[in-house]
Structure 1
Amino acid sequence: MRSLLRHFLQDARGNVAMMFAMFLGPLVVSVGGALDYSRTFTIGAEIQSAMDAGTLAAASLSQGEDPETIVRNYITAALSEHNGVLERLNVQVSSDLAINSREVTADAVISVPTLMLGLIGYDSLTLNRTSEANERVRNLEISLVLDISGSMSGSKITALRDAAEEFVGVMMDPDLDGLTSISVIPYNGGVRLPQAVINDLLPGTPNDTGCIELGVSDPVKMDLDANGYDWLDWQDNDQRNWRSSAFCPEDNEASLFLEETPSVVIDLIEDLDAGGNTGLDVATAWGARALDPVWRGRLGGDFPARPAAYDDPSTMKVLVVMTDGAATAQIRRAQNYYGNWYSYEIYSAAQARTNMADACDAAQAQGVHIYTIAFQVSGSTNRDLMRDCASRAVNYYAVENLDISAAFNSIAADLNNLRLAR
């Protein structure tokens, strides 16, 4: 008997079963609870992803549906495989719409039923998720620098007019009135300025638009102080009023700054004709000045508060420079020797290329988006100048045929995408 009792007390074969029985309940709850938490986490991630996509879609200014309907549709689609979950979902969607922005916020509370945690009194796990999205159309300042030199004559100037008009129509969408300003700077050997700028640089001048004489150090200087600039002179005639030369556009081709009315911009473009040299550096600098806040109130136009500050988060600044040739030497005043007129060079073509590169670098350093269009430009030096001016490699367009519209359309599409802040 003593021997049997000793063997019974020493026998441990049933301990595992008893221990397993003791821990089976907590083990089941733990494993099942982990599955419940994992399932709840998955559902929460799917809800968050659906809400983020839904609020982003609902915030789009191009959609006309009710934001709450859009958000709910996204969530419903995401939770379609989880039975009984949608019935426990509470979603609150709010939206704020302004003329150029829409903000959508969604808050979701959901009680996810548990499978195993109910054994210890937890019938559900509660999730809280929030999502917010906004889309804002930024103000847009565009400087459009257009080559109207002699090499642009014929079919090329016609193609340019058509392409530029289409570009203006796209960028000055009536639904975005008051947000977009366009400056158009037509140029041949120089740039003809509107009266507002003439008054600034030559105070007391009669109402005569014309071309200002700029020296070698002035073409890329952003702040041109009123310091008694002279009129560009050709064969002893000031280049103002109706007068023109290879170095000054016609009087109906004077630059237009900070305009918001499409018809006014298009009227100017329709009047563009070809003739003269290619003052690419002078024109590029004027395009950059039209975006520089130092010129606020000095350019005329429809936006007295523009150009906006460079660091204004609500404004995007764009410079589009187009040419079909090379930056030429600046040959300005003509001198009369015994009845014969002789012109003289202010600075060389090489200096003009350097000037243009400096103007592009200065604008790009201020965050200006620069696009360049080389319209049937020959020679690697000239193409490289335009390519290097662009703020990104993809912002350079080499047009080998007459389809310059494709370049302008691509720029317009890119700008419409960039001006949306999300």
Structure 2
Amino acid sequence: MGLPDFFRDRRGNTAVMFGLFFSILIVSMAGAVDYSNVISRRSKAQDALDAATLAVAVLRPATVEQAQAAVKLRLDKELGDNPDKVVIGQFNYDTKTRTYYVTAKGTYKPFLLGVVNIKEIPYEVISETIQAANGTLELALVLDNTDSMGQILNGSSTRLDVLKTAATNLVNTVMTSANKDYVKVAVVPYADYVNVGLANRSQSWVSVGADYTVPAAAKTCTTISTKQVCTGGVYGTCDSIKDGVPIKVGCWKTPQTCTTVNITPYQSCNNPQPTYYKWYGCVRHQVDSKTKMLVLPDPLTAYTGVLETAQKCPTAIQPLSNDKTVVTNSIKGLVNSIGSYKPDTFIPGGLHWGVNTLSPPAPFKEGMAYDSKNKEPKKVIVLMTDGANTLYTNSSGQIVSAATGSPPTISSSLVAPTYTAQDNACKYAKGKNIEVFVIGLGVTDPTALSALKSCATDAQHYFDAQNANDLIEAFEIIGGKLSVVRLMQ
């Protein structure tokens, strides 16, 4: 073979090789286009299945069959024309973990790869969704039960009435039959003190002396021979403060003129009775002897029970419970006064006992161990108050009333350590990764408002309620946040 023939052969080989390379290039380009289309279609199917499963998980259908049918309808709606004929594959619901496991399968028909006899490209997407609360939820409702909560808020309902409605709505939202084993709620009524419950009298974390009786004093009689007679004056209303909230009270705008006149003498005798001192469940706050500050939750020494002649603390704490009836009954039983007891406000104490109900050590042991990520369990405090502190910590750490005069004025030396104690309790809770929501109802005092906002986990966790609708809406929003369904993957 001569040289020209050789070159002719090489040109022929080159043409063959180029043709083969060009074919591979065309197939590769076609594959890239179709592969990109498959990725896009699969992504759309994944988003559609996630949206469908999340939507149905929120609705909580009564049966698995109803749930599956609802997911199918929502999936078809999300996909629209659905060219890949995406259909539900596997559908499971685990009642123990409250988890939906759903697969969907689609078939993509290539535009270009058909030239190499690839007619279909199947794909599958998976959605795993946990229903109801984000993991196990432990929620402490720390609720204001002070005297000011008796004021009318919307026509005929008191602030406390509206609070009961709002708190019950939240409980109904997070405590469903589907998540009964995964949600626990505690109710912590607070005022000047808290009530830990008579059933805990023998617990090691309470130190209560025995009930006792002071015998009646001797009967005495006094001769009365004069009386006061008052005339004139103008009676009207004056500004005052009731548990930190401005109110109007009856008063003499112009004083009366009073004189003492003689009357026919008579004997006035008393009728002494024994005085009975009992424990009604009230405990004192613990104070560090050195720092004079309140001892943070999880104390090492017992709380001191207070023996009184009548109950001087709110209704008892309801520890964490997964029984919705027990929790809602506790909310129904909230009161803002008992007999002559008209409680003032000490927010740090409420916060302390809110943490105590969530903390696994004594005094209450219903809570699980803390999770550093606050997922299993998720621990949450919802603090509600309608004003500033009206009880304060003095230099000895004692809880005292700082109000004097009418309208009352506050000793500034008592305000700072009180709000420091409140801030410490908030920081302690957040240091345990407890999520803290705060609702202020009509709070106007600048110091109180700043302290409440600072206590919340962040700005989105503080709610400024000005009326009944605001208060109910705040609890509804929190309930929604705590019952959000969650995609597992």
Query: Per the shorter chain, which TM-score range?
Result: 0.7 to 0.9
User: Offset at 1:358?
Assistant: 0.9
Q: Which residue number in structure 2 is paired with residue 179 of structure 1?
A: 182
- Between Structure 1 and Structure 2, which shows a larger proportion of strand residues? 2
Aligned to 2:437: 371
Are the aligned partners of 1:36 and 1:114 in contact in 2 as well (CA < 8 Å)?
no
The aligned amino acid for 2:368 is A
Question: Distance between the aligned counterparts of 1:333 and 1:66, measured in 2?
Answer: 55
Measured in 2, the distance between the counterparts of 1:161 and 1:202 equals: 29
**Per-residue displacement from partner, 1:50-81 (whole Å, max 9, x unpaired)?**
03531563365335446499469848975957
1:372 shift after superposition: 0.5
Query: Where does residue 42 of structure 1 map in the other structure?
Result: 37
Aligned equivalent of 1:360, options 426, 437, 440: 426
Whole-Å Cα distance in 1 between the matches of residues 386 and 70 of structure 2? 52
In 1: Cα distance, 2:378 partner to 2:446 partner: 31
Provide the residue aligned with 2:370 in structure 1. 310
CA deviation vs aligned residue, 1:332-354 (integer Å, no higher than 9, x gap): 689xxxxxxxxxx9x93322211
Q: Give the AA of the match of 1:182.
A: V
Equivalent residue, structure 2, for 1:340: none
Amino acid at match of 1:273: N
1:145 corresponds to which residue? Answer: 142
Q: Which deviates more from structure 2 when the two are superposed, residues 318-327 or residues 196-205?
A: 196-205
Q: Per the alignment, in what secondary structure is the counterpart of residue 204 of structure 2?
A: helix
Aligned 8 A contact 1:44 1:129 in 2: no
Q: Deviations over 1:14-64 (max 9, x none)?
A: x99998898456535522541243123312431243035315633653354
1:133 partnered with 2:204: no
> Structure 1: which amino acid aligns with 2:297?
M
- 1:282 Cα deviation from its structure 2 partner: 0.8
Residues 90, 108 of structure 1: 8 Å contact kept: yes
Compared with structure 1, are the counterparts of its residues 91 and 126 closer, same or farther at alpha carbon in structure 2 (3 Å cutoff)? farther
* In 2: Cα distance, 1:66 partner to 1:263 partner: 27
1:221 to 283, 296, 299: 296
Which of residues 300, 308, 330 in structure 2 aligns to 1:239? 308
- Per the TM alignment, residue 394 of structure 1 is displaced from its structure 2 partner at its CA by 1.0
Structure 2 residue corresponding to 1:118, chosen from 115, 119, 122:
115
**Residues 326-365 of structure 1 mapped to structure 2, 5 A cutoff:** 326-327=388-389, 328-330=391-393, 348-365=414-431
TM-score of the aligned structures, taking structure 2 as reference length: 0.65
The corresponding residue for 1:319 is 381
- Whether 2:201 is the aligned partner of 1:200: answer no
> Could you say if the C-alpha distance between residues 103 and 167 of structure 1 is closer, same or farther in structure 2, counting changes exceeding 3 Å?
closer
CA offsets, 1:337-380, max 9 Å, x none? xxxxxxxx9x9332221111111111112221101011111121
Tell me: higher relative CO, structure 1 or 2? Use CA pairs within 8 A at least 6 residues apart. Answer: 2
Q: Find the aligned partners of 1:154 and 1:132 in 2 and give their Cα distance.
A: 50
Alignment of 1:269-284 (within 5 A): 269-271=331-333, 272-274=335-337, 275-284=342-351
- State the SS of the aligned residue for 1:183: strand
Amino acid across the alignment from 2:460 = V
Q: 1:116 to 1:294 in 2, by over 3 A?
A: closer
Q: Which amino acid aligns with 2:356?
A: R
Q: 2:161 aligns with which of 142, 147, 158?
A: 158
Relative to 1, partners in 2 of residues 1:420 and 1:324: Cα closer, same or farther, differing over 3 Å? same
**Greater shift in the superposed pair: 348-357 or 104-113:** 104-113
Higher helix share: 1
SS at match of 2:188: strand
1:413 alignment counterpart: 480
- The AA in structure 2 aligned to 1:210 is G
Q: Which amino acid aligns with 1:93?
A: Q
Distance in 2 between residues matched to 1:21 and 1:177, nearest whole Å: 73
Residue equivalent to 1:188: 191
Contact 1:146 1:186 in 2 (8 A): yes
User: What SS class does the counterpart of residue 257 from structure 1 fall into?
Assistant: strand
SS in 2 for 1:144: strand
Confirm or deny that 1:259 pairs with 2:259.
no
In structure 1, distance between residues paired with 2:343 and 2:414: 17
Q: Is 1:380 aligned to 2:452, yes or no?
A: no
Change (3 A) 1:239 1:350: farther
Query: Which residue in 2 is equivalent to 1:341?
Result: none
Q: Would you say the 8 A contact 2:209–2:305 is kept in 1?
A: no
Which residue does 1:168 correspond to in 2?
Answer: 171
Aligned Cα RMSD in Å? 3.8
TM-aligned CA distance change 1:133 to 1:282, over 3 Å: same
Tell me the secondary structure at the aligned position of residue 468 of structure 2: coil
Segments of structure 2 that go 5 or more residues without pairing to the other structure are 5-9, 153-158, 211-277, 401-410
**Residue ranges of structure 1 left out of the alignment (5+ in a row):** 1-8, 10-14, 233-237, 335-344
Tell me how many residue pairs correspond in the alignment. 372
The aligned residue for residue 12 of structure 1 is: none
Determine the structure 2 residue equivalent to 1:102. 99
User: Is 1:230 aligned to residue 293 of structure 2?
Assistant: no
Partner in structure 1 of residue 353 of structure 2: 286
- Between the aligned partners of 1:405 and 1:90, the Cα distance in structure 2 is 42
Equivalent position of 1:400 in the other structure = 466
Corresponding position of 1:212: 283
Measure the CA separation in 2 of the matches of 1:149 and 1:81: 60
Deviating beyond 6 angstroms after TM superposition, the runs of 4 or more aligned structure 1 residues are 15-22, 204-207
Cα distance between partner residues in 2 of 1:307 and 1:317: 9
